[in-house]
Amino acid sequence: MHVIILGAPGSGKGTQSAEITKRFSLKHLSTGDMLRAEINSGSELGLAAKAVMDEGNLVSDDIILGMVAEQLKNSEKGMLFDGFPRTIAQAEGLDKLLAEEKSEISHVIELDIDTEEIVERMLARGRDDDNEDTIRNRLAVFNKQTAPLIEYYRSQNKLSTVLGSGTVEEIFARIEKVLSA
Ligand code: AP5
Ligand code: MG
């Protein structure tokens, strides 16, 4: 089983991923976490990515697909994709990578949550890219480049939309119901 968790910046993808991977024995693949690890390691890729991430823009599809392909090569387990794919090109690239292994995405969980609640959550956290200007741009980038994926997966009958507000436990219970069905 391969699952995608899709949602705006700050919608709770990372938080719910921790619960989902435990419950369904999936491997967590967060492209944001992978990029932050590159930044911390001081690599050239990290340096280039940091400038893009600090603005709240997207790192190039080629770099992202290259990183993901590397991870898929080394994994026997079902995956939980968090923060990836983020563009139609990434989604098509992922479909191709999985098809090479005679596999495919089983479910896409969309976290649906109000913008103002998201901004409050992120300002309270305070990651490097959690200042008001960058957050607004991340949300705009999401609406323009990532939101089209909702239709992409709906047309494949893979999309389930889950209400993303409430406690962590309440939201997880909604997701668990979808993935157990
Ligand atoms: P990424 O790391 O993916 O960040 P994001 O999508 O902006 O989302 P966040 O990680 O901020 O939020 P989340 O949805 O995981 O929510 P969380 O659980 O943390 O990407 C960062 C950047 O990397 C991008 O802008 C881009 O530049 C680049 N990048 C990454 N992937 C890429 C790709 N595929 N292509 C191109 N570029 C890419 O929750 C948020 C906060 O809310 C936390 O403090 C949490 O504790 C709190 N919270 C969570 N749930 C609840 C709840 N139920 N109630 C109250 N608070 C809650
Ligand atoms: Mg995250």
pLDDT at residue 51, rounded to an integer: 96
Q: Which residues are catalytically annotated?
A: 13, 86, 125, 127, 138
Q: Mean pLDDT throughout 134-155?
A: 97
77-92 core/surface letters (b: 16 or more CB in 10 A; e: else): eebbbbbbbbbeebbe
Residue 22 has pLDDT above 90, yes or no: yes
pLDDT (tens digit per residue) in 51-110 = 999 999 999 999 999 999 999 997 888 999 999 999 999 999 999 999 999 999 999 999
DSSP 97-109: HHHHTT----EEE
- The separation between the first and the last C-alpha atoms of the chain, rounded to the nearest angstrom, is 13
pLDDT at residue 158, rounded to an integer: 98
What span, in angstroms and rounded, lies between the C-alpha atoms of 144 and 7?
Answer: 13
Please choose from 19, 59, 128, 149 the residue to mutate so as to test ligand 1's pocket, defined by most ligand atoms within 8 A of CB.
59
pLDDT at residue 110, rounded to an integer: 98
d(CA 30, ligand 1 centre) in Å: 9
pLDDT at residue 74, rounded to an integer: 78
Check if the beta carbon of residue 24 is closer than 8 Å to that of residue 77.
Answer: no
pLDDT (tens digit per residue) in 106-132 = 999 999 999 999 999 999 999 999 999
Which residue lies with its CA nearest to atom 26 of ligand 1? 58
Which residue lies with its CA nearest to atom 8 of ligand 1? 9
What span, in angstroms and rounded, lies between the C-alpha atoms of 43 and 150?
Answer: 33
Residue 42 confidence class, pLDDT cut points 50, 70, 90: very high
Please choose from 6, 39, 58, 120 the residue to mutate so as to test ligand 1's pocket, defined by most ligand atoms within 8 A of CB.
58
Token pair of 33 as six digits: 């976490």
DSSP 109-153: EEEE--HHHHHHHHHHH--TT-SHHHHHHHHHHIIIIITHHHHHH
Q: What is the mean pLDDT of the chain?
A: 96
Of 3, 1, 25, 20, which Cα lies nearest the Cα of 159?
Answer: 3
What span, in angstroms and rounded, lies between the C-alpha atoms of 4 and 172?
Answer: 14
